[in-house]
Each structure stands twice: as structure tokens, then as C-alpha cells.
Amino acid sequence: MRSALKLIALSFPLLLLMSGMASANTCNNFLSYDCAHATPNIVHVGGGVASGQSVGVLLTSNVFNITTSNGSAGADVLITAAFVSASPAGTLNGIPFTSLSSFPEGAALHAITSSLQGLGYCGQHCTLSFGFVDLNSALARNGSVTVTASGVPAGTVFYGMVIGKKGLINFITPNSEAAIFPGNRQVVPEPGTLTLLGSGLIGLGSLVKRKLCM
């Protein structure tokens, strides 16, 4: 009985973390863009390292790429962004941002805010503005779209949306695959969630090993 309670106690942080990772964002219609009936969270913003935050990627330069986890293609790619500033600024592939009144991915705001706070980009109260860029670039099957940011403020958070042949948003980005742009600021990722995951796995492994040796 005592061993079972120890196993549950060690497993709880791991299960909690995994359940948080599994919760999917939702797609919200905005301006002239409508969401498909189902919008799997399979878009990845690449070009960085693990951030240790809910928004999982910390970019290492002003160039990043958009892919899908299963290699699905798309007719166009949108980049949505949250800014720690009064209004969107900068360009992506030379295209300026269009302002939005709200963020197009439901369940993303808490992840964005907590991640920016965790990395020191904003304090207890994080005031955000939102925008997007239509890259007018098709995503080939098993391919990627390269994006170059210019004049974008540090702390800007990028999510990708992939549009299908029917003009609907088919795929969106989970928080763990979205990215934070550090600008010229040197940021050391805080391995909070990674430490939690590691400690849970180590604890479980030690308990299982003891059981096998008995």
C-alpha cells in the first residue's frame, strides 16, 4: 500500500505536466479568415531552443521556419503574433503586420502571458497587442516556409496557421510549438517544466528499479 502511494505521488507531477501539454488550442475566425471544422494543433515554429516555458521555443535568430508535424501541405501560411507593446511593429518577409483586436488561437493567452513573465519580458501585468501577417506562401508536403523577421520587438510571440485549398484555416500551433523572439537580448531559458518532467521520470525509474531488485 505504501509503495502504491509513493508511485502515485511520483507520478502526479508527470501526469499533470502531460495533461497540460495535451490540451489543444482552438481556432477562432478573424477578419476574412474562417476555421475549418477541425483544426489539428500540428504547426511547428522552428529555429530555436527549448524555452522551459509553456510557449516552448526560444528563437536563436531573426529567421525561423514553419512546418507541420505530419508533413501536411497548405495553400498559404499565416503568422499570428502577440507583442509586449502598444501596437504591432516590424515585418515578416518584408510584409508589415495587420493589427488584431484579439488573438486568433483560443487557450493561448495564458501560455503567452506566463511565458513572457517567466522570461522577464513583462511583470505581473502583461499588456499585449496582436497582429498577423499573411505570407502568401504555400507550404509543400513535408516542406517548410522560411520567415525572416525585421524590426520586430523583443518578446514577440509567434504562432503559425496553415490554410488549405478551400481557403479555410486547417492547422494551428500548440503552445509548446510556438516561439518567442528574443531580439538582441540574451535570455537563459528557465527549465521549470523540463525539471518537473525530469524529476518525475527519475523518481519513477528509481522506484521501478527498486521493485525489480526486491
For the segment 52-111, what is each residue's pLDDT rounded down to a tens digit? 999 999 999 999 999 999 999 999 999 999 999 889 999 999 999 999 999 999 999 999
DSSP SS3 for 10: helix
For β-strands 57-59 and 179-181, DSSP reports them as: parallel
DSSP letter, residue 193: H
Residue 194 falls within a domain, yes or no? no
Tell me the three cell numbers of residue 2: 505504501
CA distance 134 to 149: 13
Q: Is residue 195 part of a domain?
A: no
Residue 20 lies in a domain: no
Domains: count for the chain:
1
Q: Which domain holds residue 158?
A: 25-188
Do strands 129-134 and 98-100 pair parallel, antiparallel, or not at all (unpaired)? Answer: antiparallel
In sequence order, the β-bridge partners of residue 67 are 44
pLDDT digits 0-9 by tens, 113-162: 999 999 999 988 899 999 999 999 999 999 999 999 999 999 999 999 99
Supply the pLDDT for residue 124: 87
Asked whether residue 168 is assigned to any structural domain, the reply reads yes
Closest CA to 187 of 114, 113, 119: 119
- 19 within domain boundaries: no
Residue 54 lies in a domain: yes
For 18, the grid coordinates are: 502531460
Q: Is the pLDDT higher at 154 or at 201?
A: 154
- Evaluated on CA atoms 114, 118, 122, 128, the torsion sign reads negative
In a domain, 147, yes or no: yes
Asked if residue 10 belongs to a domain, the reply is: no
Q: What angle do CA 89, 95, 98 make, to 5 degrees?
A: 55
